[in-house]
Structure 1
Amino acid sequence: MTYDSLAGRTAVVTGAASGIGEAVARLLAAQGVRVALLARRAERLEELAQKIGADGGSALAVPADVTAEASVEAAVELVHGAFGRVDLVVNNAGVMLPNPVDAGRVDEWQRMIDTNVTGALRVVRAFRADLLDAAAAGRPADLVNVSSVAAHLMFPTYAVYGATKAALTYLSQALRGEFGPRDVRVTNVEPGFTDTELRGHIDNAELSEALEGLFGEVGSLAAEDIADLVAYATSRPRHVNLRQVVALPTRQA
């Protein structure tokens, strides 16, 4: 499917080095969007930018860590210097580190909160003026937050991860109240089981095996499926806001 109305826009995609972020960046670039690729892995970003360029798209590799304020501020300067102001922001960077709360893994809790919640807020703060200016000028302006069905569904041992995603889902709703009256659309995307690198972050062998079993039984979405939803939502007429999109594999209850 093509989304012709996206052509000419400028986007920032966080977590762009792999998975959903990479798929979103590829698809947007294929539709004529200039895409700033934000993630920590510089080499992966450069490779992706080169691939997008070889396919006729425009992409900028911007190594950045959303958990560090100075890194985000430096990323803004790079993006503005190369592309100018942006009108589409995809907050996708995230980590999933399940363990029972009894395990007391404060390091994991802090990492998930810093990335999944505070990191998203840093990106919103960094580019909110761009989005508001685009909307004020009568152009489409979109903020897309990639949350998870874990915001609503209880998964044993995923308490803190689910709590961070619930916070992001609530944040999307609150931001819609702040930005919507000024014509900035806010879309919250909640994927179910999706085949990404998040599965490889788990350091608990038992939990990793259990998750792989669920993927084998239920199946999973591809990162490209979520990218397609992001492109669809952001290509609607500017008065139409798909505020909440939940996407599950058909067999996932």
Structure 2
Amino acid sequence: MADRAAIITGASSGIGLAIAHMLGQEGYGLTVAARRPDKLTAAADELRAAGHRVVEYAGNLGDEEAIDAVVALHERTYGRLDVLVNNAGVGIGEFVGELTTKKVDLQLDLNLRSIFLFYRAAVPLLRAAGAEHRNALVVNTSSISGKVGEPWLSVYSATKHGVVGFTQAMNKELAKDGIKNTALCPAFVDTPMTDFVKGAVPAEKMITTQDIAESVRFLIRTSPGCVVPEIQYVQPGGGDLPGVDEVSV
């Protein structure tokens, strides 16, 4: 059994993969999960090549059975859970008069509902870790759009506001169990998910995935008496998001 272990969703690329590498460097056994088997296997192989212990689960992380299966696989493999990273998510831009029900449901299910269900499935393991060292951690990837609503990304913004609110609630509900919760609220991060805006915000001016990973490294090293409920990441000068007329829609 590993001395420490973590689940990271949305781990096949971008922020999730960067966090997985960092946690592997810190000695955590890793369970990585994402939707596409080919991309996830490539990411898991990359992590193994770096010397990290990894198991993987590919599936629809908006699905209740898949969520339960990820946690069950992790428990069978490591027997403990110290860090849960709810990073899987999707952003789909649509104007409010043109909203597609399927796309609304996809964002609600993956960005918000899945976080609720991952907590439900994982909280017994998290409570056991919290009882042991009072420093279990859940990291929930929100967005700067979870702080200020954005046109064209209204549903995405609403789900990410929900992530911030749920994280706040969990800090109140789970503090007695030694479980800390942090919402990450980045502006544009240089990943494939932000390719649509790189004509207005060049990649070299974006936040890096390493910026995010290093902030999580800080979180796992804080003392049990220190809770960081939220981290915002913005571009220099405030980093306002470009208007919808400035991006490729």
TM-score (norm 2): 0.90
User: Is the contact made by 1:76 and 1:126 (CA closer than 8 Å) also made in structure 2?
Assistant: yes
User: Is the contact made by 2:31 and 2:74 (CA closer than 8 Å) also made in structure 1?
Assistant: yes
CA-based RMSD of the aligned residues comes to 1.7
**Residue 200 of structure 2 aligns with which residue?**
214
TM-superposition CA deviations, 1:106-155 (whole Å, max 9, x none)? 11111100000001111111111111111112352001111011012232
Equivalent pairs counted in the alignment come to: 238
User: Is the contact made by 2:8 and 2:32 (CA closer than 8 Å) also made in structure 1?
Assistant: yes
User: Is the contact made by 2:134 and 2:177 (CA closer than 8 Å) also made in structure 1?
Assistant: no
**Residue 37 of structure 2 aligns with which residue?**
42
**Is the counterpart of residue 60 in structure 1 residue 48 in structure 2?**
no
Stretch moving more, 177-186 or 134-143: 134-143
**Is the counterpart of residue 99 in structure 1 residue 94 in structure 2?**
yes
Equivalent residues in 2 for 1:241-252 (5 A)?
Answer: 241-251=227-237, 252=239
**1:11 counterpart (1, 6, 13):** 6
CA distance in 1, matches of 2:75, 2:3: 16
**Residue 234 of structure 1 aligns with which residue?**
220
Equivalent residues in 2 for 1:1-253 (5 A)?
Answer: 8-199=3-194, 208=196, 211-216=197-202, 219-251=205-237, 252-253=239-240
One-letter code aligned to 1:101: V
User: Is the contact made by 1:42 and 1:61 (CA closer than 8 Å) also made in structure 2?
Assistant: no
CA distance in 2, matches of 1:234, 1:191: 19
Q: Shift of the alpha carbon at 1:193?
A: 1.0
One-letter code aligned to 1:216: P
CA distance in 2, matches of 1:52, 1:27: 10
Q: Shift of the alpha carbon at 1:41?
A: 1.6
TM-superposition CA deviations, 1:142-190 (whole Å, max 9, x none)? 0111101101223221111100000110000011110112211111110
CA distance in 2, matches of 1:58, 1:139: 24
Q: Shift of the alpha carbon at 1:44?
A: 2.1
User: Is the contact made by 1:189 and 1:245 (CA closer than 8 Å) also made in structure 2?
Assistant: yes
CA distance in 2, matches of 1:218, 1:16: 22
Q: SS where residue 93 of structure 2 aligns? A: coil
CA distance in 2, matches of 1:217, 1:16: 21
Q: Shift of the alpha carbon at 1:105?
A: 1.5
CA distance in 2, matches of 1:235, 1:57: 19
TM-score (norm 1): 0.89
User: Is the contact made by 2:134 and 2:178 (CA closer than 8 Å) also made in structure 1?
Assistant: no
TM-superposition CA deviations, 1:51-90 (whole Å, max 9, x none)? 2222221111121322111111222221111111211000
| % same residue | 28
One-letter code aligned to 1:245: I
User: Is the contact made by 1:49 and 1:58 (CA closer than 8 Å) also made in structure 2?
Assistant: no
Q: Where in structure 2 are there 5+ consecutive unaligned residues?
A: 241-249
Q: Shift of the alpha carbon at 1:95?
A: 0.2
User: Is the contact made by 2:13 and 2:43 (CA closer than 8 Å) also made in structure 1?
Assistant: no
